[in-house]
Amino acid sequence: MEISVGRVGMVPLSSIIVEDRTRVELGDLSGLEKNMKASGLISPLAVKDNQDGTYRLLAGGRRFMILSRNNVEKVPVRIFDKDLSDIEMKIIEKAENLHRKELEYYEMDKLTLEIHRMQEQLHGVVSAPGPGQTGWSMGDTGDMIGGVSTATISQAIKRAKLRESLPDVFEGCKTAADALKMIKKMDEAVVKQVIAKQIETTNANSTTSPLTQLAKSYIIKSCFEGIKEIPASVFHLVEIDPPYAIKLMEQKKAKSESQYMREDYNEILAEFYMDGEKNGQWKGMKFLFKECYRVMTEHSWLLCWFGSQPWFEEMFEAITSAGFESTRLCGIWVKPSGQTKRPETLLSNSYETFFYAWKGRPALNRPGRTNVFNYSSVSPQSKSHPTERPVELMKDIYSTFASEGSRVLIPFLGSGSGLIASHQLGMTGVGFELTKSYRDSFLVKANSM
């Protein structure tokens, strides 16, 4: 039996007649439509020549509907000239999908990752989620595939990246659920390290991608050593989020928040906090404030988070002694709920404070803005660092003091929320962190935004 290939031609879409289709429900066409807009019509429609200038649609109903609503005038078709019975026409209609093999989950994961990477190459990496965003996001990939959620795309890409790096680990995983169980069994730090390495490798040849720039801005080095290498008068804004020297680890463990507590969190004892030196990696807040003053421009802002009890007066004195002017009316981050170790005696504390100080006579970017910032905390299960703050909070604070194009120094990077915030605001951020595992977590998070 010969294989009938028909003939290929271009015909007016208006000449194609749709009659009595087997597929009644066409389903959600948005993903296919987005795919066709991005890649064009890959497969032609199949039609029967009615010999009167019209054609009966045999296969490609979903594609026909999308082409129609996009006002496409002419389309490529595979034309069957010979007389076909109703049964033969139904066979052609069904045969398009009859022998299609469903992709294995790992094949779909790989395909999803490849599509996402190619779209990023074509459109660029998403600059900032939300209205007016540029570049290609995981949400865009989900829409293109067919209304798949961003969370599902993120999981598929995560599985695919890990399978690229550790293929043997997933040898016996027959389903996506099996693969996710395997990932959960693996140490989270190892998973992030593998993904971070994959991200860096993927972006190694790009000097302009946002992720490459962010990775280079996250420097693994003591800020006390790194800041000495910075020339004078460079930064318009410095945001310091140092250890609070209030035995934070004990407080978090008392609240049973061990799921994100890390042994590599660098807590500082009170006796070293202001002007002591420890292990060559800590030189005291007084030293840091003086160095910050040196590297800041003539008219610039300093922000410094601190534990009000017991460091309020000592921190204020250290800041002003370094040459800054400031006020005791601090910036305040108010959270929906509070905490206390002694509920029978002390009210629950639901805020954190930061001093804002200035060198020269800078002007607020948002004059008249109140000193209160209302934002929920990052949920414990989402934290990669014990003192991680929401990116939206940091964007609000940064944009209050500095404008687009400003240079931002972040001596204690931690989760890297400040870097992401400055990047999304069109500022240039750079900073230091001692712990590489925090940088791995940062790269994974930045890659998924």
The token pair at 167 is 């293929």
Which letter, b or e, does each residue of 320-354 get, where b requires 16 or more Cβ atoms within 10 Å of its Cβ? Answer: eebebebeeebbebebeeeeeeeeeeeeeeeebbb
Which pLDDT score is estimated for 291?
98
Token pair of 261, please? 């507590």
SS3 404: coil
Model confidence pLDDT, tens digit, residues 144-185:
776 788 889 888 888 888 888 778 778 888 898 888 888 877
Q: What percent of the chain has pLDDT over 70?
A: 82
Mean pLDDT is lowest, of 104-118, 175-189, 385-399, for: 175-189
**pLDDT for res 327:** 98
Query: What pLDDT is attached to residue 321?
Result: 98
Q: How confident is the model at residue 265 (pLDDT cuts 50, 70, 90)?
A: low
Average pLDDT over residues 40-50: 84
220: enclosing H helix or E strand = strand 218-220
Average pLDDT over residues 55-72: 87
Counting residues of the chain whose pLDDT is more than 90, the rounded percentage is 39
Look at 93 and 70; give whichever has higher pLDDT: 70
Weakest mean pLDDT among 306-310, 313-317, 350-354: 306-310
Most confident of 130-144, 183-197, 401-415: 401-415
Ordered alpha helix ranges (H), 136-209: 138-145, 150-165, 176-185, 188-202
Contact present, 178 and 172 (Cβ < 8 Å): yes
Give the lowest-confidence range in 170-174, 355-359, 361-365, 412-416: 170-174
Mean pLDDT confidence for 322-334: 98
| pLDDT tens per residue across span 280-293 | 789 999 999 999 99
CA-CA distance, 190 to 437, in Å (whole number)? 9
pTM above 0.85, yes or no: no
Residues 318, 291 contacting (CB under 8 angstroms): no
Residue 319 has pLDDT above 80, yes or no: yes
Mean pLDDT of 134-141: 82
Q: Of residues 128 and 141, which shows the higher confidence score?
A: 141
Q: Give the range among 100-109, 401-410, 413-422 with minimum mean pLDDT.
A: 100-109
- Sorted by where each starts, the structural domains of the chain and their CATH numbers stand as 7-98 (3.90.1530.10), 105-186 (no CATH), 211-448 (3.40.50.150)
What is the SS3 string spanning 61-87? HHHHHHHHHCCCCEEEEEEECCCCCHH
What Rg, from alpha-carbon coordinates, does the chain have? Answer: 29
Dihedral sign from CA coordinates of 243, 249, 252, 255: negative
- Kindly indicate the confidence band of residue 187, based on its pLDDT and cuts at 50, 70 and 90: low
> Which has more confidence, 235 or 33?
235
The overall average pLDDT reported for the chain is 83
- pLDDT over 90 (residue 384): no
SS3 411: coil
Taking Cα atoms as reference points, which of 42, 80, 83 lies closest to residue 58? 80
